[in-house]
Structure 1
């Protein structure tokens, strides 16, 4: 899954600590009772069992939370796709939605079952994503997403109608299930001074950063199948109720 990408930062951080301690891979291998190639493989980010990670932290005398926290701070900013790529995805909503599902990652066979898609469909979708540089098509029409980094879609770009649709449907779902324990729908409107509103906007930005950072740390130490996707959708802006509400005169 997308963990290799995330874990890379953890191991970059550990490499720095290793250097700071004046230790080599060979020294670490000796302390762990494994071969040097094994340590090299671990640091290539291909092996991240929590026990191993804790063992390395122990030897380096550094708490794992500090390592994760440090690794999270080197978090990459979300990248933006070229406008032409967004326009191509906007022109084919099914292609865009498939891209989102495969990035989740939801297993391809489940997507095929859910939406009644044939191998031929997947091959054609895969070719379209490949042409956009977003995926590769492998044997058996397996689509491998190549863009694993966080992507920020333009909020003033060609995808606006589809992003609006996704978020409105999500809110609709959340409001319908509002009684449920795990999906609190909340909304608040209050009278306040503009500088208070600006302060709250900064608090919301901080919350977004916290969500991204905590999720990154989870991805570094977890198996893909243990993670759940959660979504927060909101807007914070001055509201004009007369522009939203209508009142019909009594005939």
Structure 2
């Protein structure tokens, strides 16, 4: 979708929200209603005309641009280059995870031994990578979907397997709100796919609840990490005992 199309669509939405009809706008701009309809139908508007509409709406262009940016579809997966850049610096990775968890600048500085200057520098780096949009006063907007996934065989998951898996699974999983399940079984491939879809919905539910609970005070929230996995696999210690090795086990 072109930028002009986005701009005109946003103006339409603002007109509707303000209860301003094309007829009302035509009167304010000294134009015919048919001309206004034609301009919006073609989604082709000169900047001078955009300014006229904004004045009629008593809206600033910067506010409109920000609203357009907020409505852009978020990426559900980072590029290989983005992930490589993130894992190349553990402090940048920490900052990225903090942003994905929607932590404020003040929370990050208050929790970790990063200076304010370092935090700003890493926020700028994430902005340049296209992961966030940095805004005034060290605020930001995520440019990735909250429920996005790291690339299955990408740099971040490689880092996770090397440095995080043992640390994560070494816990007891016996505290409030914690659970560890290991379930074995045989099902059809189609049913396995259906189960994967349901597990993806659980991940999405977790992400949505995280967003909903942002209205709570930090003291009322607790950080959790949900890990969901399902694969056709045989434990390495048992593979040499199998009469007919399955290629999928390798």
Q: TM-score if structure 1 supplies the norm length?
A: 0.53
User: Is the Cα contact below 8 Å between 2:133 and 2:140 reproduced in 1?
Assistant: yes
Where do 1:6-45 residues align within 5 Å? Answer: none
Q: How much has 1:90 moved relative to structure 2?
A: 1.9
Relative CO higher for 1 or 2, CA cutoff 8 Å, sep ≥ 6?
Answer: 1
Q: How much has 1:244 moved relative to structure 2?
A: 8.1
Residue 225 (structure 1) aligns with: 215
User: Is the Cα contact below 8 Å between 1:90 and 1:159 reproduced in 2?
Assistant: yes
Query: What is the alpha-carbon distance in structure 2 between the residues aligned to residue 212 and residue 242 of structure 1?
Result: 30
Query: What is the alpha-carbon distance in structure 2 between the residues aligned to residue 138 and residue 77 of structure 1?
Result: 17
CA shift digits 1:60-98 (9 cap, x unpaired): xxxxxxxxxxxxxxxx79622221111111211221221
Query: What is the alpha-carbon distance in structure 2 between the residues aligned to residue 92 and residue 168 of structure 1?
Result: 21
> Residues 138, 119 of structure 1: CA spacing in aligned structure 2 closer, same or farther, 3 A cutoff?
farther
> Residues 210, 133 of structure 1: CA spacing in aligned structure 2 closer, same or farther, 3 A cutoff?
closer
Where do 1:1-251 residues align within 5 Å? Answer: 79-140=76-137, 142-150=138-146, 151-164=148-161, 165-173=163-171, 176-178=172-174, 180-190=175-185, 192=186, 196=187, 198-199=189-190, 201-212=192-203, 214-215=205-206, 218=209, 222=212, 224-226=214-216, 231-242=226-237
CA shift digits 1:121-163 (9 cap, x unpaired): 11221221122122344455x1514314242221112223323
Where do 5+ consecutive residues of structure 1 fail to align?
Answer: 1-14, 16-23, 27-36, 38-43, 45-75, 246-251
> Residues 214, 189 of structure 1: CA spacing in aligned structure 2 closer, same or farther, 3 A cutoff?
closer
User: Is the Cα contact below 8 Å between 2:99 and 2:142 reproduced in 1?
Assistant: no
Alignment root-mean-square deviation, CA: 3.7
Query: What is the alpha-carbon distance in structure 1 between the residues aligned to residue 112 and residue 205 of structure 2?
Result: 32
Aligned residues: 169
Residue 48 (structure 1) aligns with: none
> Residues 189, 125 of structure 1: CA spacing in aligned structure 2 closer, same or farther, 3 A cutoff?
same
User: Is the Cα contact below 8 Å between 1:89 and 1:96 reproduced in 2?
Assistant: yes
> Residues 204, 183 of structure 1: CA spacing in aligned structure 2 closer, same or farther, 3 A cutoff?
same
Q: How much has 1:110 moved relative to structure 2?
A: 2.2
SS at 1:159's partner residue?
helix
Where do 5+ consecutive residues of structure 2 fail to align?
Answer: 1-12, 20-56, 58-63, 65-72, 241-250
Query: What is the alpha-carbon distance in structure 2 between the residues aligned to residue 144 and residue 132 of structure 1?
Result: 13
> Residues 187, 213 of structure 1: CA spacing in aligned structure 2 closer, same or farther, 3 A cutoff?
closer
SS at 1:144's partner residue?
strand
User: Is the Cα contact below 8 Å between 1:103 and 1:145 reproduced in 2?
Assistant: no
